[in-house]
A and B are shown apart, each in its own frame.
Chain A
């Protein structure tokens, strides 16, 4: 009971922090906007007002979608990390480590390259679909290769090592594509491997919003079953969970939300690893709390990382993956060293 109250207040606090960070992230960047600037820019959208000025258009068409996309992508990565950790009953997995992100990045890069060569007409959804296909292929490949020959289960060591290899494979494939590509976006290997939100626009926001919000709400419906999985697959079955079905559903949600986010931002690692940890330390391991909390915390952390990326080399910017890795890698190593958490 008391724990439930603590968790509610925690989630409320996290939501407030996310809003504060959102406010900071729309104000500061290559160019700072005052509150009055922001109000004027928003008013120019209303009918009967003057056309937006260049600065106002920068705010409305670049800054604002970028800030919102950042929240959504952060939420996707946080929720993806929580789902993967619950599924594998292990706190050191995340979507980037089992190949999902690099596969999705490969799918997107291939889409740009083939699009340039074949000149097919692209709809709004073809890029995210290409990313999903790439994500599904790479994730499936990792699972297939990591499975032990004896009992068909994937040990966490095999999973991480296989993930490493598959990541390297897809990254070099992306390297090859960027070498032969003519499309400027596909040409940028840093875009895919280190991630950036600089390509944000309202189309991206729309698509990522659908997958993130839909995926998170769907995952919440399975939170109780994921809790039961914490005490083991057999025990979860005894508690009424169809474990195989649950695995497929959770894996699919994870691949879709992470792949769609990756299609627009490139591979951003370690957010999905850190976020569930912070939450477990604060409010325990109940997945109902973790899923909502990791959406909020992921959004907040990625927005902070994006602020750092934008402000540290003003007016140029850092790829956001450099910021998340700088924080994430030490945390990952620390977790690896704590033996009781692994294997």
Chain B
């Protein structure tokens, strides 16, 4: 009995689960290879570590891109089906590129799979016999999920094909196989695949940047890339967490290497100080979050997020504060939010951010600013949906949670923008800008929770559609944020290599000495402000649109919209200050001419051109983000 179970578990893990997480495996394998190359025969003397790292990251990117495309392809492929009644046989022909069909139960005799077509033949009696046939189409999980609707269409076609058979409306139903893997620890869906693809893409660009700037020297290369890869694996786990345990492990796995990377500039006092600050804050926040998780588990008797979702929904549907359990649950949720707020550097958990960014090298700061934000937002969206997933009737308590998050978002944005004014160090300025942008993205989450909390309580309000828009905005924002923020940090790193300074004053007049690099900086900065025709504008617009719609549920979201708009105007000032130094101020007397390599300009262009394209032609990415977010709400 037990051995059967074990066998089944091993079979499930190795056959289905593992292959869904190939990108993580590829990254882990790269770490092993990096360390082996160093340990055995010191091969890394001849093969630089970045070659191995870049290869590993590219493989991971390839796999995750392939997975995402596969998942997207799995949709709506049962577009045409026809039924042939031939004597005593009814056969159903479905045009599909589905590879295998498993008849779980039912009376169908024969299943033939031809390339591009599946034929299910049912003999003996009328077509009604096939009612019992439950088909499972195996081609990625999304296909299974969408079969629910496709199955209906299939049935309708069967009815049309043979008028005399009386098939019930939902004659054929597809079983929904779980997306959950490893016994429910991880989930594999489009949303996760999108974020993981984004992280892999970022990793590749990041490694390319480190090659250009040479920040881990040959000696430190394997260590640095090991840390980088480890953190990225943690972030990928965060994006697919389906269990509070993985939730915590993912955050820690992403954080611990980050602490080390912040302190990677050995011998620099600021660097060690920054790393120490980061560790202390991080450990405190992790402790609080772990306490929250333990409360939640103890209260609900489960740590699986879908189950937590159902129980929380039941608990908070009515007046949330009526019972002690509900109050404890809310406290626990609050504590979990604290952990996330630390990762997202939200006010009042932002203190580590400027110091860590200033102490770390610009490359590491860029990594913390983009990748860890992306993963943490993915996790936040999953947790928010878990919080609201079980809601049937409108919940004032949850709307209150959404509004509270909105207040945090407003504070974060305003604080970030105002504090950025006085900075003279570019990395500190970008740190506050990162805080502000976390606030903008948090607004989408706030709108999401408020909309979801409405349940079906508001007539004429499309809850699913508007929730989709929130997530769509967030995902698009993350996508463009990857490029525009990485671009800004990359230019900082490249200029630092020339001028050995990260003060904004040291940028005076260099716009005319390296026009390509500084034009790219201008594109990234204007995109960060949110001006068209750059990608940042489109991201902001979608988030503003979701705030506007959420305002119909709770008026506070309209206030939030106005605050967001005002902040956009505030933020212009300090972003433009950098450009003013670059292009308007004269070069200091006797300053050494800044002369960058063409490859560096090309790299900056590689980052900046997508920012422009995402603004001019956002269609494909916005459609992708919409598809991905729609899958979350099906």
Q: Do A and B come from one complex?
A: no
